[in-house]
């Protein structure tokens, strides 16, 4: 089954949500997507939250947990109110190129009997909601330890509506990138590139943490980070295999390639450190895992197992170098390395999907080009268009949003407050009282 | 009376305690400390960010003993705490003016 399937499902839904009985519910598909929805929510709380919490200094541990938790709540409501209809909205007419229509504002026309593809429309809406939660939560890593909580809430709300939801429409909602044949099964462009590019812009606009580059800022509790990483891996099965929006061969293959890529990415990063630094680190192996997962995400509906191993290995090595480069050469304080892991991985994976979807590569063959495309070159052009357009759009709009929020409430806490730590200053609490 | 302060490698603590027990020194105060001498620190690497950690973890023990026991105590500590590698630690000996056992009010060597 082609990655375009999600779009196709939605086009089907265009008529479905207007005339509620147009589609048939498949119970197996429904059961799997119910499960996947829970898995993807599990990625953010507690997976990503713990992963990030362990990486910051102890005085900021609660602030990061709070940001992820509050975003889970807030993004759910924003998605309910407006986000969903911008991404997938339909009153039964053909979908627009740029955004959906406002037929599903406040989840209007989504009732118990509405069907999207072969699953209840309610289920599709909440499954997609979990993606709309984790994407802004990923950005938290870039501005960790210095952003005002109010500014973070305001920025994330605007960002979800103006960046995430439209791009989601372009790729999955029947918009122009999906129609062009972009293969992005589970969110290389929609999730990882948007989040990571926004992260990079945020890190640059806000500037580095006080003492970045001179004061040691080691992770305060890698045990939390490793626990969170394990949860991310498990949850990612729902993220990628759930993106088939069906319980079928495509979902099973997505799960298989996801797992292989994670394993290969983890070992590749570990190996790089072992060779270059002399010791394999725990943080290294789990970061390589995230790189492998982020990179296979767009390709998980396009490639076979052998290609997945190649993609994972490439991700581990490339993201390893990207992380060092950003930190030590460009001196950008993307505090928890969102861009070099998710952004570089997302772009790499989106491009590699264009190569390894070919059916002519022997054991490395994938599931075929999109309709109307007959060569690797042709598919790569579409993939590159997806990457570049998502990147440029995200850079410009995120920059404007950050400046706007800065003018309204101020993005950063005072230097004095930053030194004290956000837990006490913003929340009147301490993470640890030992 | 003397106060012996010994900075040793943490994993040698049990051996040193046993050795001191064997020569009849039955009390000590132990702390986990950090510091550096010739050994210097070490580097830690987190995703490409390298931090030099200058202080090494060590154990500091303090023993108050009579003048007569000093040589034996130093010998006992040195014999078991030495690995021959850099970072084995140091022993400092300083004069001790007075000691008092709080429960009984005994003073001087009787209180040791």
Q: What backbone phi and psi angles, to 5 degrees, belong to B36?
A: -150, 150
Residues of chain B with pLDDT under 50: none
Q: Which residue of B has its CA nearest to A338?
A: B47
* Gap from B96 CA to chain A (nearest CA, Å): 35
- Provide the pLDDT confidence category of residue A91 given band limits of 50, 70 and 90: low
| Interface contact flag, B45 A337, Cβ < 8 Å | no
A409 to chain B, any CB pair closer than 8 A? The answer is: no
Which residues 6+ apart lie within 8 Å of A414 measured at CB?
none
Token duo for residue A187: 């969110």
Interface check for A327 against chain B (CB to CB < 8 A): the answer is yes
What is the three-state SS of chain B? CEEEEEEECHHHHHHHHHHHHHCCCCCCEEEEEEECCCCCCEEEEECCEEEEECCEEEEEEEEEECHHHHHHHHHHHHHHHCCCCCCCEEEEEEECCCCECCCCCCEHHHHC
CA closest to B54 among chain A residues: A216
Report chain B's terminal Cα–Cα distance, integer Å. Answer: 9
| Pick from B45, B51, B52: CB nearest A277 | B45
Q: Which two tokens stand for residue A285?
A: 């192996």
Q: What is the pLDDT of residue B44?
A: 87
What band does A11 get if pLDDT is binned at 50, 70 and 90? very low
Closest Cα in chain A, distance from residue B5 (Å): 29
d(CA B75, CA B53): 32
For residue A272, what pLDDT is reported? 97
Residue of A216, A291, A317 to mutate, interface with B, max B Cβ within 10 Å? A216
Architecture of domain B2-111: 2-Layer Sandwich (3.30)
* A-chain residue closest to B52, CA distance: A216
* β-pair type (B29-35, A119-120): unpaired
**Residue A288 near chain B (CB below 8 Å):** no
Contacts A279 to B, Cβ<8 Å: 45
Tokens of A311: 């993609």
Q: Does A328 touch chain B (CB under 8 A)?
A: yes
Would you call A302 helix, strand, or coil by DSSP? coil
The two three-digit tokens of residue A65, written as one number: 């947990």
Chain A and chain B share a number of CB contacts under 8 A equal to 28
Taking CA atoms, A349 is separated from A17, A310, A383, in Å, by 33, 11, 10
To test the contact with chain B by mutation, choose from A324, A325, A333, A342 the residue with the greatest count of B C-beta atoms within 10 A, namely: A324
Query: What is the model's pLDDT at position A21?
Result: 42
| Closest to A207 measured CA to CA, from A64, A323, A332, A325 | A332
Whether residue A365 has pLDDT greater than 70: yes
Query: What distance in Å separates the CA atoms of residue A119 and residue A140, rounded to the nearest whole number?
Result: 32
Which has the higher per-residue pLDDT, A178 or A20? A178
pLDDT tens sequence across A1-10: 344 445 444 4
* B103 inside 8 A of chain A by CB: no
**Is B51 within 8 Å of A216 when comparing Cβ atoms?**
yes
Cα gap A177→A168, rounded to integer Å = 10
Residue A180 has pLDDT above 90, yes or no: yes
Nearest CA-CA partner of A102 in A171, A169, A153, A6: A169
Give the residue from B49, B50, B54 with the most A CB atoms within 10 Å of its CB, the best one to mutate.
B49
A328 vs B contacts (CB less than 8 Å): 48-49
Is A235 near chain B, with CB under 8 Å? no
Q: A269: cis peptide before it, omega within 30°?
A: no
Distances (CA, A) of A52 to A154, A178, A220: 21, 32, 10
Which tokens sit at A308? 């997945």
What is the DSSP track for A136-150?
HHHHHHHHTTTB-HH
Q: Name the minimum distance, in Å, from the CA of A214 to any CA of chain B.
A: 9
Distance CA A258, CA A235 (A): 11
Residues A273, B45: C-beta atoms closer than 8 Å? yes
pLDDT for A357: 97
CA distance A130 to A221: 27
Measured between CB atoms, which of A216, A217, A323 is closest to B48?
A: A323
Q: Which 3 state secondary structure label does DSSP give A357? A: coil
Q: How far is A197 from chain B (nearest CA, A)?
A: 19
Q: Which residues contact A419 (CB under 8 A, 6 or more apart)?
A: A210
C-beta atoms of B47 and A327 within 8 A: yes
B44 touches chain A (CB under 8 A): yes
Mutant choice from B34, B42, B44, B46 vs A, greatest count of A C-beta within 10 A: B46
In this predicted structure, what is the pLDDT of residue B41? 79
Distance from CA of B83 to the nearest CA of A (A): 24
pLDDT of residue A20: 40
DSSP lists the bridge partners of residue A377 as: none
Q: Which two tokens stand for residue A45?
A: 């709380």
Tokens of A310: 């190649």
Cβ neighbours for B15, distance < 8 A, ≥ 6 positions apart = B80, B81
Question: Which residue of chain B has the CA closest to A316?
Answer: B47
- Rounded alpha-carbon distances, angstroms, from residue A34 to A29, A107, A120, B11: 9, 18, 10, 52
Contact with chain B for residue A218, Cβ under 8 A: yes
CB A267, CB A315: distance < 8 Å:
no
Chosen from B34, B42, B45, B48 to mutate, greatest number of chain A CBs within 10 A? B48
Identify whether the C-beta of residue A238 lies closer than 8 Å to the C-beta of residue A39: yes
Tell me the average pLDDT of chain A. 93
Q: What is the mean pLDDT of residues A166-170?
A: 96
> What is the enclosing helix (H) or strand (E) of A11?
helix A5-18
How far is C-alpha A327 from the chain's CA centre?
A: 22
Tell me what pLDDT residue A6 has. Answer: 52
Let me know: does A298 contact A185? Beta carbons within 8 Å. yes
What value does the mean pLDDT take over residues A314-334?
96
* Cβ of residue A278 closer than 8 Å to a chain B Cβ: no
Q: How far is A221 from chain B (nearest CA, A)?
A: 12
Instruction: Give yes or no for residue A232 having a pLDDT over 90.
Output: yes
**Reported CATH class of domain A5-422:** mainly alpha
Average the pLDDT over A97-105 and give the result.
90
Distance CA A96, CA A173 (A): 9
> Span A97-101, mean pLDDT?
89
For A166, what's the count of Cα atoms within 13 Å in the CB-facing half-sphere? 13
∠A353-A354-A358 over CA atoms, to 5°?
95
Q: What share of chain A is helix, strand, coil (3-state, %, to 5)?
A: 70, 0, 25
Residues A281, A273 contacting (CB under 8 angstroms): yes
Whether this model's ipTM surpasses 0.85 comes out as no
Going A156 to A157 to A158 to A164, the CA torsion angle's sign is: positive
Show residues of chain A in contact with B51, CB under 8 Å. 216, 218
Instruction: Determine, for residues B47 and A328 on separate chains, whether the beta-carbon distance falls below 8 Å.
Output: no
The pLDDT assigned to A328 comes to: 92
- DSSP annotation string for A205-245: HH-PPTTTTTS----S-HHHHHHHHHHHHHHHHHHHHGGGS
Q: Are A130 and A324 in contact (CB under 8 A)?
A: no
Tell me the average pLDDT across A325-342: 96
Tell me the whole-structure pTM to 2 decimals: 0.87
* Contact state of A281 with B45 under an 8 Å Cβ cutoff: yes
Percent of chain A with pLDDT over 90: 90
Structural domain spans, chain A: 5-422
């Amino acid at each position: 089954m082609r990655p375009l399937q999600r779009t196709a499902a939605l086009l089907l839904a265009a008529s479905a949500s207007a005339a509620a009985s147009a589609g048939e519910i498949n119970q197996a598909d429904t059961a799997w997507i119910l499960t996947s929805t829970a898995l993807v929510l599990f990625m953010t709380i507690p997976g990503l939250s713990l992963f990030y919490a362990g990486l910051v200094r102890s005085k900021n541990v609660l602030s990061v947990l709070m940001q992820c938790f509050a975003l889970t709540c807030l993004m759910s409501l924003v998605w309910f109110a407006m986000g969903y209809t911008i991404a997938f909205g339909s009153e039964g007419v053909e979908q627009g190129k740029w955004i959906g229509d406002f037929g599903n504002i406040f989840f209007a026309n989504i009732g118990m009997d509405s069907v999207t593809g072969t699953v209840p429309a309610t289920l599709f809406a909440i499954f997609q909601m979990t993606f709309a939660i984790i994407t802004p939560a990923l950005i938290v890593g870039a501005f960790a330890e210095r952003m005002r909580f109010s500014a973070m809430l305001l920025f994330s709300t605007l960002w979800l509506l103006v960046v995430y939801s439209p791009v989601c429409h372009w790729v999955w909602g029947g918009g122009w990138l999906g129609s062009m044949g972009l293969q992005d099964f589970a969110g290389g462009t929609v999730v990882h590139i948007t989040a990571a590019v926004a992260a990079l812009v945020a890190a640059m606009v806000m500037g580095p943490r006080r003492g970045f580059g001179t004061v040691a800022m080691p992770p305060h509790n890698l045990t939390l980070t490793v626990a969170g990483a394990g949860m991310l891996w498990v949850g990612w099965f729902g993220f990628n295999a759930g993106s088939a929006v069906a319980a079928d061969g495509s979902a099973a293959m997505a799960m298989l390639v996801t797992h292989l890529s994670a394993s290969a990415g983890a070992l590749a990063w570990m190996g790089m450190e072992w060779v270059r630094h002399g010791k394999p680190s725990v943080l290294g192996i789990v970061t390589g895992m995230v790189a492998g997962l982020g990179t296979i995400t767009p390709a998980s509906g396009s490639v076979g197992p052998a290609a997945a191993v190649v993609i994972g290995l490439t991700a581990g090595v490339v993201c390893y170098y990207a992380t060092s480069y950003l930190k030590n050469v460009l001196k950008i304080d993307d505090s928890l390395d969102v861009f070099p892991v998710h952004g570089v991985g997302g772009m790499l994976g989106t491009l590699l999907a264009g190569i390894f979807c070919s059916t002519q590569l022997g054991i490395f063959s994938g599931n075929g080009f999109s309709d109307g495309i007959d060569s690797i070159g042709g598919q790569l052009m579409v993939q590159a268009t997806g990457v570049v357009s998502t990147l440029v759009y995200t850079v410009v709009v995120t920059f404007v949003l950050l400046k706007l929020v800065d003018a309204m409430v101020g993005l950063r806490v005072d230097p004095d407050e930053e030194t004290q730590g956000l837990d006490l200053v913003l929340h009147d609490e301490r993470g640890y009282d030992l | 009376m003397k106060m012996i302060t010994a900075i040793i490698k943490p994993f040698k603590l049990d051996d040193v305690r046993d050795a001191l027990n064997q020569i009849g020194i039955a009390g000590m105060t132990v702390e986990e400390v950090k510091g550096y001498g010739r050994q210097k620190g070490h580097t830690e690497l987190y995703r490409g960010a390298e931090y030099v950690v200058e202080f090494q973890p060590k154990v500091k023990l303090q023993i108050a003993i009579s003048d007569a026991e000093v040589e034996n105590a130093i010998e006992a500590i040195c014999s078991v705490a030495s690995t021959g590698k850099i970072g084995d630690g140091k022993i400092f000996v300083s004069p001790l003016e007075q000691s008092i056992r709080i429960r009984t009010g005994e003073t001087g060597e009787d209180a040791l």
